């Protein structure tokens, strides 16, 4: 049935979405040249109807750390289907959820020794929502602290700890929460001292903008939370499972969070799943007696396809040594980015860890280039980076993304299965597009016309992650 439907209707993708889903997003994709009909995915590659291949340095926002359609995950899911399992009985304790929780605790404890209790969710934002509730239950306090530029999902609780007005505006009153500038320990302590803070939640490296904290910030922030009786929550939904060259990103600083949230890659790229991993004593504050045994729950959290996908994903990460690979390939990519920074005046910064890397652009000093920069940046801040993203796609079929709203930062999240060949391909593509961008007019600047026209008519370019 699915095969037939795809066979009959392939190519109607954008029209169907325009009619029944989100027409503005369809328009954005068309303006930036991302309106491709993909028909197949394998590892780090996507294929269109004509058989062209595209190198995916977006990874579905870090869902595809294992690459697309990994045979081990696929086989595990097919086994579950063949077994006719008694899925979602609800009034029982399903085996695969128990085994995945056991495995998650085992791998988590190698990074964060105290964490030994798990709650399964259906997404990253649901894991964050749950973690915020756990923090309130554990501390009896109600306010949340988060960082400026933070991103933890877009449901109302997670939105309350979002650091970007773009996402918050227009949705009314949110939960009590305060944004702290990254690296500002005094601001953090000032808020903690007020005594009403349930937790400080943070991504160890921020997805929006690839902002990496100073080395002392997170360890000191953790200490301050302990001192003032607030929980320290690491949101590793994007950074977890090897993305930054360590299994968990907090390992870079020897952190010991009270709660860690995960999702994305745990799905194996197939079945949505997330988890809250915490200490038993915190878990016990939520589920504290028989009466409150189901006080926080969901319908699909422990679904067997998701559990099998999670088990298979963890097996692949271990067997293919993807964490070590991310560190090695990340070092190669970073070396190349640094070389580009030296070569091109508009590359202002390169940063990140493992295979979560960013490149930031800044205004040029030479007169000719200034005219080009102004031609897009006075229309809307961040359009220069969008121009580079468009060039990478149009001329090299390399998928990337502008990392946040109104910034000139491109983020790279390649699947962790990439090898030297793919890293070098991406670096050569960047080198070429940047060389064109440093020659004004002509070359890549030809794309600016569509972009500017689009920007004047539409607002949002980067899609929410």
Ligand X SMILES: Cc1ncc(COP(=O)(O)O)c(C=O)c1O
Residues that bind ligand X (CB under 6 A): 61, 123-125, 128, 151-153, 203, 207, 235, 237-238, 263, 465
The token pair at 381 is: 């801040």
> Could you give the angle at which helices 322-343 and 304-319 cross, rounded to 10 degrees?
70
Dihedral angle, C-alpha 300, 302, 307, 313, nearest 10 °? 80
Sheet (strand 274-278) strand order: 117-121, 274-278, 259-262, 231-235, 197-202, 143-147, 177-180
Which residue, 132 or 311, has its beta carbon nearer to ligand X? 132
Cα separation, 311 vs 277, in Å, equals 16
To the nearest whole angstrom, how small is the minimum distance from the Cβ of residue 373 to ligand X? 30
Is the alpha carbon torsion for 338, 339, 342, 345 positive or negative? Answer: negative
CB of 62 to ligand X, least distance (A): 7
Look at residues 332, 325, 305 and name the one whose alpha carbon lies nearest to residue 415. 325
Q: How far is the CB of 128 from ligand X (least distance, A)?
A: 5
Contacts of 105 (CB under 8 A, 6+ apart): 115, 116, 117, 118, 277
CB of 68 to ligand X, least distance (A): 18
Nearest residue to ligand X, using CB?
124
Distance CA 245, CA 243 (A): 6
CB 249, min distance to ligand X, A: 10
Q: How far is the CB of 381 from ligand X (least distance, A)?
A: 22
Beta strands in 208-292 (DSSP E): 231-235, 259-262, 274-278
Nearest distance, CB of residue 60 and ligand X, angstroms: 10
Closest separation between CB of residue 203 and ligand X, Å? 5
Q: Which is nearer to ligand X, 59 or 386 (CB)?
A: 59
Please, which residue, 59 or 123, has the CB nearer to ligand X? 123
DSSP letter (8 states) at residue 310: H
Q: Which is nearer to ligand X, 238 or 403 (CB)?
A: 238
Q: Closer to ligand X by CB, 64 or 373: give it.
A: 64
Cβ proximity to ligand X: between 235 and 304 the closer is 235
Which C-beta is closer to ligand X: that of 301 or that of 336? 301
Using only C-alpha atoms, the chain has a radius of gyration, in whole angstroms, of 22
Q: Does residue 441 have a cis peptide bond before it, meaning omega lies within 30 degrees of 0?
A: yes
Alpha-carbon separation of residue 342 from 337, 346, 360 (angstroms): 9, 10, 13
3-state secondary structure of 213: coil
Using the minimum distance from each CB to ligand X, give the nearer residue, 273 or 327.
273
């Amino acid at each position: 049935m699915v095969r037939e439907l795809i066979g009959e209707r392939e190519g109607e993708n954008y029209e169907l979405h325009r009619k029944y889903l989100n027409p503005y997003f369809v328009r954005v994709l068309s303006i930036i040249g991302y309106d491709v009909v993909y028909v197949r995915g394998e590892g780090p590659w996507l294929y269109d109807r004509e058989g062209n291949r595209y190198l995916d340095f977006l990874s579905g926002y870090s869902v595809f750390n294992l690459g697309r359609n990994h045979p081990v995950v696929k086989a595990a899911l097919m086994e579950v289907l063949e077994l006719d399992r008694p899925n979602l009985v609800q009034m029982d304790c399903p085996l695969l959820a128990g085994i995945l929780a056991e495995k998650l605790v085992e791998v988590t404890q190698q990074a964060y020794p105290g964490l030994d209790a798990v709650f399964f969710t259906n997404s990253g934002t649901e894991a964050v929502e749950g973690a915020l509730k756990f923090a309130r239950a554990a501390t009896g306090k109600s306010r949340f602290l988060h960082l400026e530029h933070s991103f933890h999902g877009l449901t109302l609780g997670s939105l309350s700890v979002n650091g970007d007005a773009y996402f918050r505006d227009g949705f009314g009153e949110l939960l009590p929460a305060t944004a702290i500038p990254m690296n500002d320990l005094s601001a953090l302590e000032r808020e903690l001292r007020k005594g009403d803070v349930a937790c400080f939640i943070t991504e160890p490296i921020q997805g929006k903008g690839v902002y990496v904290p100073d080395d002392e910030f997170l360890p000191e922030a953790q200490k301050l939370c302990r001192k003032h009786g607030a929980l320290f929550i690491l949101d590793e939904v994007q950074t977890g499972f090897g993305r930054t060259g360590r299994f968990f990103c907090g390992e870079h600083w020897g952190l010991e969070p009270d709660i860690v949230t995960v999702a994305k890659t745990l799905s194996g790229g197939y079945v949505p799943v997330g988890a809250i991993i915490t200490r038993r004593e915190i878990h016990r504050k939520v589920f504290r007696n028989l009466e409150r045994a189901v006080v926080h729950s969901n319908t699909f959290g422990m679904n067997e396809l998701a559990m099998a996908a999670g088990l298979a994903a963890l097996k692949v990460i271990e067997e293919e040594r993807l964490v070590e690979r991310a560190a090695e390939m990340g070092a190669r990519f970073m070396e190349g980015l640094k070389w580009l920074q030296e070569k091109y005046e508009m590359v202002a910064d390169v940063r990140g860890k493992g295979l979560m890397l960013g490149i930031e652009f800044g205004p040029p000093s030479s007169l000719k280039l200034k005219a080009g920069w102004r031609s897009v940046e006075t229309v809307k801040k961040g359009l220069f980076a969008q121009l580079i993203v468009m060039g990478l796609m149009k001329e090299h079929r390399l998928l990337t993304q502008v990392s946040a709203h109104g910034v000139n930062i491109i983020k790279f999240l390649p699947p962790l299965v990439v090898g030297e060949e793919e890293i070098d391909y991406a670096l050569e593509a960047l080198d070429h597009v940047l060389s064109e961008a440093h020659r004004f007019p002509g070359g890549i600047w030809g794309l600016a016309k569509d972009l500017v026209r689009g920007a004047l008519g539409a607002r949002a370019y980067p899609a929410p992650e």
